[in-house]
Amino acid sequence: MLTHEEQLAEFEARIARGEKIEPGDWMPAEYRRQLIRMISQHAHSEVVGMLPEGAWITRAPNLRRKMVLISKVQDEGGHGQYLYHAAESLGISREEMLDALLEGRAKYSSIFNYPTLNWADIGVIGWLVDGAAIKNQTMLAQASYGPYSRAMVRICAEETFHHKQGKEMVIQYAQGTPFQRQMVQDSINRWWWPTLMMFGPHDSDSPNSETLIKWGIKTKTNDELRQEFINEMVADLTAVNLTLPDPDLHFDEASGNWTTGPIDWDEFWRVVKGNGPCNKERLAARQEAHENGRWVREAMAAFAARSPQVIA
């Protein structure tokens, strides 16, 4: 029988060797807690993230755009499913996670508490928001927990299509009519800063990063990922003559990075704490959807009680 210290040493040695930790394996309680926290927040983000884009399905300008958008929103629902399953493998139930979301106790990505005000927002979400998500999720595909890492591989493959369709749309509008250029610039102006906030607080204010990095859940810090994203996006957006809403943005020769002005962390925490522009609307939409699905859950439970072998 190994002592706790010996089990911990063996666990950390496995991570150092690059082995994946699987659901039945021994793991420290804090590793399990951190994963449940992060994966459930991630799952909620995917599902709540369907709302701002879903709002434009009926207003898509043509059939091709409508089909792409429907398919993208459906993919996000699927990502939520993979992630809820990954979290369930750690011993939390779907009901517990959903109750936390519906009662307003759970976090989900701050970005989805902003409104989609024009059609170009759909392209900008694809290029910027999915771009930020892919940067983070490509890192998480290396995570030490097997089910999370495998879900990320699959999700990243799908997100890459989301990213490409957004980029195609933004570039087309940036090179389009004066109205299209104005629409897409307005959208970039509104989404730039909230997208940078998606990566989380600065490293000095990120209480979870140290533990997540120690145990191989994250392999890069919030600021490292944000900086990589800024460097790529400034180059790409300026190449199509779009501007960024940051008078302090400049290239720093010494570090080789694009440096932004200060991020408004007061705004970030207001949004995270439930007081962003759309938090209440998002929660109400999820509560309503959950209530509307009640009869399906009840019918499934009644059917399972009568015919357990069919459900199994």
Residues forming contacts to ligand BYC in the complex (CB under 6 A) are 37-38, 41-42, 45-46, 49, 53, 76, 107, 109-110, 125, 129-130, 133, 136, 197-201, 206-209, 212, 222, 272
Nearer to ligand BYC, 182 or 208 (CB): 208
| Tokens, residue 101 | 């979301």
CB of 268 to ligand BYC, least distance (A): 7
Nearer to ligand BYC, 102 or 176 (CB): 102
- Give me the count of residues in the chain: 312
Q: Which residue is nearest to ligand BYC (CB)?
A: 49
Q: State how far the alpha carbon of 20 is from the alpha carbons of 13, 137, 213, in Å.
A: 11, 17, 15
CB of 4 to ligand BYC, least distance (A): 24
Nearer to ligand BYC, 39 or 171 (CB): 39
DSSP assignment of the chain:
---HHHHHHHHHHHHHTTPPB-TTS---HHHHHHHHHHHHHHHHHHHHTHHHHHTTGGG-SSHHHHHHHHHHHHHHHHHHHHHHHHHHTTT--HHHHHHHHHTT-S---GGGGS---STHHHHHIIIIIHHHHHHHHHHHTT-SBHHHHHHHHHHHHHHHHHHHHHHHHHHHHHTS-HHHHHHHHHHHHHHHHHHHHTT-S-GGG-TTHHHHHHTTS-SS-HHHHHHHHHHHHHHHHHHTT---S-TT-EEETTTTEEE-----HHHHHHIIIIISTTHHHHHHHHHHHHHHTHHHHHHHHHHHHH-HHHH-
CB of 164 to ligand BYC, least distance (A): 14
CB of 104 to ligand BYC, least distance (A): 13
CB of 293 to ligand BYC, least distance (A): 19
Nearer to ligand BYC, 157 or 299 (CB): 157
Nearer to ligand BYC, 74 or 241 (CB): 74
Nearer to ligand BYC, 187 or 209 (CB): 209
Nearer to ligand BYC, 199 or 258 (CB): 199
CB of 143 to ligand BYC, least distance (A): 10
CB of 42 to ligand BYC, least distance (A): 4
Q: Which of 124, 126, 12 is nearest to 73 (CA)?
A: 126
